[in-house]
Amino acid sequence: MNNAKIKKFSEEKGINKYELVIATAKTARIVTDDFILQKELADRLAGKETDKPVPILVDEKYKDEKPVQSAVELLTKNEFRIVESSLPESKEKEENGGRE
92/73 Cα distance (integer angstroms): 34
CA 35 from centroid of its chain's CA atoms: 12
pLDDT in tens, 53-92: 555 656 666 667 888 988 888 888 888 888 876 656 555 5
Amino acid at 70: S
Measured in residues, the chain has a length of 100
3/1 Cα distance (integer angstroms): 7
pTM (2 d.p.): 0.67
